[in-house]
Amino acid sequence: MTTTLSTHFPAIDNTHLKSFAKLDIPARLLLGPGPSNADPAVLAAMDRQPIGHLDKAYLQLMDEVQELMRYAWQTDNRLTLPVSGTGSAAMEATLANTIEPGDKVLVCVNGYFGHRLMDMAGRYGAEVVSIHRPWGEVFNTSEIRAALETHRPAIMAIVHAETSTGVCQPMDGIGDLCREYECLLVLDTVTSLGGVPLFLDKWGVDLAYSCSQKGLSCPPGSSPFTMNERALTKLSNRRGKVANWYLDMSLLNNYWGQGRTYHHTAPVNMTYAIREALRLLSEEGLEARWQRHQEAAEHLYAGLEEMGLTCHVPREYRLHTLTTVRIPEGVDGKAVTAKLIDDHNMELGGGLGDLAGRVWRVGLMGYNARKENVDKFLSALKQVLTELK
């Protein structure tokens, strides 16, 4: 016996709905600030049927992801997990869980993402103060000490790998200063995890966050987050609840910790993906991975110099995963990036904020950090610059 839909439903007019073709995404070489191309093995791991997020097999995967993430960050932090969201969600989680209204938060700003940290901190009721360096420069411990002495913040946030400028911030001594002044240290490692040396415990970092789609060669959507016992103590001593329910680590800890208590429907296939990405990292080894990124970056520097192009950041502070290249006088930077996409199927990033229109951003991250990709890019860029003269 067949049944028909109730006649009480109104008639649906779909005459305006066009016919859509099957999904067809161009295969591009992604050499911008992210995402980078995902490792084929990661895509294969992701392309499996989901299982329940409380299934015993999934719970085992969660344990493995946490262990691998601790290795990637060189930390023993018990609360280390992937946030269900992009890197900005993990960034917000560090602030949402530690800031109480009225807390003073010091942000070190030398690029676009320092400003984002300031914006987020203010939304949680912090009294936000900041110190600044020009985009392309780093902070020294003397100016950080002076700011800590002046402001006496509860939290200090600094970007290790500034995606907008291509700067890698030296971290020696900064964690010690934060302990001396009894404040928590938050570190942005979005463009450094899996690509350049990171030692959270050795550096005295209290909270850190990253993303999946850069040095880990994984699609975006599962973002590493970690907090140590100092940060957990501040969380447990809060006067009120964390203002963001979805990112509340006191709740998420019951899901990713021993209780395995339901919190939200985890993105199961993204867990497959990031687990495989982290497995590949451990298989290659951290030191070998860092070395591969450095060699690819140095190959790029040499090729750019040969073309007469200049990097924006002094060599000793360059981020091996992302290089900012000054756009030559008289060259239309956007025309170059458009022609690289149209003619060479290759993505190159433009500048942000203070560097908008002044630099290109070349990403060599994870799976893409290879000399053959550098050669493809330099050849294509040379051709495009010649054609646009």
**Phi and psi at residue 205, in whole multiples of 5°?**
-85, 130
Spell out the residues 6+ positions from residue 248 whose beta carbon is closer than 8 angstroms to its own: 96, 97, 241, 242
pLDDT at residue 350 greater than cutoff 60: yes
Summarize pLDDT for 264-287 with one digit per residue, the tens.
Answer: 988 999 999 999 999 999 999 999
Same fold, 29-35+285-387 and 40-283: no
- pLDDT band, very low/low/confident/very high, at 4 (cuts 50, 70, 90): low
Domain 29-35+285-387 has CATH 3.90.1150.10: yes
Summarize pLDDT for 111-144 with one digit per residue, the tens.
Answer: 999 999 999 999 999 999 999 999 999 999 999 9
Summarize pLDDT for 166-192 with one digit per residue, the tens.
Answer: 999 999 999 999 999 999 999 999 999
Q: Which CATH number describes the domain made up of 40-283?
A: 3.40.640.10
- Distance, in Å, from the CA atom of 313 to the CA atom of 166, rounded to the nearest integer, reads 7
Summarize pLDDT for 301-338 with one digit per residue, the tens.
Answer: 999 999 999 999 999 999 999 999 999 999 999 999 99
Is 78 annotated as ligand-binding?
no
What's the pTM value of the predicted model, to 2 decimals? 0.95
Mean pLDDT of 207-212: 98
Mean pLDDT of 135-162: 98
Domain boundaries, the chain: 29-35+285-387, 40-283
Q: What share of the chain is helix, strand, coil (3-state, %, to 5)?
A: 40, 15, 40
Looking from the CA of 84 toward its CB, the CA atoms found within 13 Å total 18
Structure tokens at 86: 């992009």
pLDDT at residue 189, as a whole number: 98
Grouping H, G, I as helix, E, B as strand and the rest as coil, residue 330 is coil
